[in-house]
Structure 1
Amino acid sequence: MQVDLFDFVLPAERIALRPAVPRDAARLLVLDGTGTRDLHVSDLPRQLRAGDCLVFNDTRVIPAQLEGRRGEARIGATLHKREGPRRWRAFVRNAKRVREGDEIAFGAGVSAIASDRQEDGSIALDFAGDEPVELLLQRAGTMPLPPYIAGKRAPDAQDRDDYQTMFAREEGAVAAPTAALHFTPALLEALIEAGIGHETLTLHVGAGTFLPVKADDTADHRMHAEWGRIDAATAERLNAVRARGGRIVAVGTTSLRLLESAATPDRLIAPFEGDTAIFITPGYTFRGVDGLMTNFHLPRSTLFMLVSALMGLERMQAAYAHAIAKEYRFYSYGDASLLLP
C-alpha cells in the first residue's frame, strides 16, 4: 500500500508535553460496533464486559539517552536494543564523526567503544568496565523521551515517574508502552470489581518505534526487531479467557504486536520468547487480540497503519479527524482510544 494513504495533518498544539493528572482523567475515544463515543479513561470498566481480559506490557524504561564526546565532537546516542551483556545497538547523532574502534565518553565515568555500523545507521556500543550497564545508565543517562516531546522541552526529573507505567518491572525498554500510562491502582481495582481480568507480557520497546517510514510503499519498509516473552502459564490463561467467551484486549500496540507474533492460525496464544519484527498493515488477519486500547499515533507511522488494519483505514482517518476537532491530546503523553472491531 502507498504510505501517503496514512497521512493526516496534526496541529502542533495537539501534541501533549505532559500527561493528564490523575492519569485516568485522560480522555478516551471509543470506537466499536455502535459508533463513536467521547469518554474518559476512568469510564473504561463500563466499556468492557465481565470476562474480558486486558493485556499489559510490563517492560520498564531505562535511561537510554546519552550525551558524550569523541575528542572535540559532541555525540548523542539513543540505545535501541541489547545485543549482549555489555553491548547495545544505538542510533547515534553526529554519527559521521564516529569510526569503528572510537571511544565515546559519556561522563560520570561511563564510556563505550563503537563498532559494527549497519545499513540503518545504527552502531554497536560496548560499555567499558565491570559495573552492570544498568547502573552506568542510571549515572549518565536520561529518559529517552520521544523526539516530538524532546524537541520542545528537555527531559526532567518528573519524566522518570511520568514516563513509566504502574506495571513496569522488566528493565530493557527505551520507549514506554504508553497506553498503560493511563492506568492507576484505583482504575485497576474498578476493572477487577467489574469482572475484567488482566495479564502481563514483556516486550522491550526499541527506539525504532519512532523512526519515520521513508519508503513510498509499505512493502518496502523494514521493521526493527524487538525482544519479547509470553510464558506458558500466561498463554494458558489467555486461551482460557477466549474459551469462556471473553475477549483479549491489548493495552498498547506493543502488547498487540507480541500477542499477534505468538498467535497460532487457530487463534490460540502460544508461549513465545525471542525477537519479533511483525509489521501489521490493512489486510492482516488478527488472531491474537479482539480489541486494542492505544494512544493517538503519528501520521504515516507503522502504528497508525496497525490501527487502520484493525478498524479500517477510512474509519481511523475519520476518527482522527474527530479527535483533532474535539481537541484530544496526541502521542505518548496524550489521550487514548479504545478500538473494538
Structure 2
Amino acid sequence: MKVDLFDFHLPEELIAQVPLQNRMDSRLMVLDKKTGAIKHEVFKNITEYLREGDCLVLNDTRVLPARLFGVKKDTGAKIEVLLLKQLEEDQWETLVKPAKRVKIGTEIDFGDGLLKAVCTGTSDHGGRVFKFTYKGIFYEVLDQLGEMPLPPYIKEQLDDRERYQTVYAREPGSAAAPTAGLHFTEELLNEVREKGVHIAFVTLHVGLGTFRPVSVDDVQDHEMHAEFYMVSEGTARLLNEVRNNGGRIISVGTTSTRTLETIASANNGRFVEGSGWTDIFIYPGYEFMAIDGMITNFHLPKSTLIMLVSALAGRENVLNAYHIAVEQRYRFFSFGDAMLII
C-alpha cells in the first residue's frame, strides 16, 4: 500500500495558527464510517451524537514546556534542545539543533546554569541523550525555563501556554498535545456526564513519532516510534462494563485510540490494567477491537494519523471528507476543527 494513496491538496492558509477564543466553538464534521455521509456541526453540539451508556476515552497526558534554549559551556554556541522521552530519573532522549555541534560529553547550560546537561549518548534518527543536573524539582525548573513545543507548522507565538493543554491534562510527559481533546471545556464535559455518557482516562505520552514524517514509499515499511502508555484498573473495568452493556466506546484522539487498541489486541478484545511502550501502527486493513468511534482533528497529508483514520472509516470516505473540508474552509491540524467518526 503506497503512502501516496493518503495524499491530498491542502492550502497553507487552512493550517490553523492560533486557537479559537472558546474551545468548543470549533467546527465539527460528523462522518458516518459505513456510508461516508457527512454532516456539518459545531463542536459544542457533540452531545447530540452521544448516547446514554456510551463512554468517551480521553488521554490525560500533559505537555511539558519541553523546548529549552541553552549554550555550550566551552564555546557559548547557542543550542536548542527538545525533550522527548524520559529514560531514567534525570536522563532524557531529545532532539537537538544543531545536532552536529553536540557530541558525547558536550555540556550545555540553561538559564545561566539553573539547569545543566551533559550529552551521554545518541539515539535513533539523530537524537541525543542528556543527563540533567539542577537544584529543586525538575518540572518546576522546566516550567521556569522551557517553552511549549508547538508543531513546526505553527508560526505564531502562543500567548497562553494552557491553550496547548487539554482542560483535563494531569500526567506530565508529552512532547505534543493530544489535540482532539483541546475542544472540550469543563462545561462541555459536564454536559456529557449529565447525558449519562461515561468518561474514562488513559495516558499516552506523545513522543518522537509526532515529529517524524513518513519517509518510505510503502506504508508497511514505516516504523512507529514507541510511546509510553498507562491504563488503570478502574478504566479497564469501566470499559469492559460499557462493552458488556452494549454501549459504544468512543476514543478522543489517535493517541487514545492507539492506547486502547494496544491493550485490547493483546487481550482478545478485553481491557486490562497495564502500562508499557507501544509502537502499534494502524492503517487500512487493521481490524479494530477496542473502539466504535473516534473524535479527531484534520491531519497532515500522507501522515500515520490520516492512515489510522482511514483504517476506521475507509480511505475513500476519509479523502472525500478531507476534500469537502478544504472546500468548506475547515481549519486543519493542532488548533483546527474536529471530526467525529461514528
Bin for the TM-score computed over the shorter chain: over 0.9
Give the corresponding residue for 1:56.
58
Quick one: which of 332, 335, 341 aligns to 2:334? 332
Once the two structures are superposed, residues 37-60 of structure 1 have per-residue CA deviations (whole angstroms, 9 ceiling, x without a partner) of 000111111112111100001111
Deviation, structure 1 residue 130 = 4.2
Give the corresponding residue for 2:119.
114
Deviation, structure 1 residue 244 = 0.5
Letter of the 1:176 partner, please give it: A
Give the corresponding residue for 1:6.
6
Whether 1:287 aligns to 2:289 is yes
Deviation, structure 1 residue 211 = 1.5
Counterpart of 1:228 in 2: which secondary structure? strand
Counterpart of 1:115 in 2: which secondary structure? strand
Once the two structures are superposed, residues 181-208 of structure 1 have per-residue CA deviations (whole angstroms, 9 ceiling, x without a partner) of 1001221122122221111111111142
Once the two structures are superposed, residues 159-181 of structure 1 have per-residue CA deviations (whole angstroms, 9 ceiling, x without a partner) of x1100111111111111111111
Whether 1:239 aligns to 2:240 is yes
Counterpart of 1:198 in 2: which secondary structure? strand
Once the two structures are superposed, residues 131-169 of structure 1 have per-residue CA deviations (whole angstroms, 9 ceiling, x without a partner) of 3321221121101111111xx223x441x1100111111
What is the aligned-residue RMSD (CA, Å)?
Answer: 1.3
Q: List aligned pairs for 1:150-165, cutoff 5 A.
A: 152-154=155-157, 156-158=158-160, 160-165=161-166
Deviation, structure 1 residue 240 = 0.3
Whether 1:125 aligns to 2:130 is yes
Q: List aligned pairs for 1:253-332, cutoff 5 A.
A: 253-264=254-265, 266-332=268-334
Deviation, structure 1 residue 323 = 0.5
Letter of the 1:134 partner, please give it: Y
Give the corresponding residue for 1:179.
180
Letter of the 2:226 partner, please give it: A
Equivalenced residues, count: 336
- TM-score normalised according to structure 1 size: 0.95
Are the aligned partners of 1:175 and 1:207 in contact in 2 as well (CA < 8 Å)?
Answer: no
Counterpart of 1:9 in 2: which secondary structure? coil
Whether 1:94 aligns to 2:95 is no
Unaligned runs of 5+ in 2: none
Unaligned runs of 5+ in 1: none
Q: Give distance in 2, aligned partners of 1:140 and 1:89.
A: 18
Q: Give distance in 1, aligned partners of 2:141 and 2:148.
A: 13
Counterpart of 1:128 in 2: which secondary structure? strand
Identity of aligned residues (%): 48
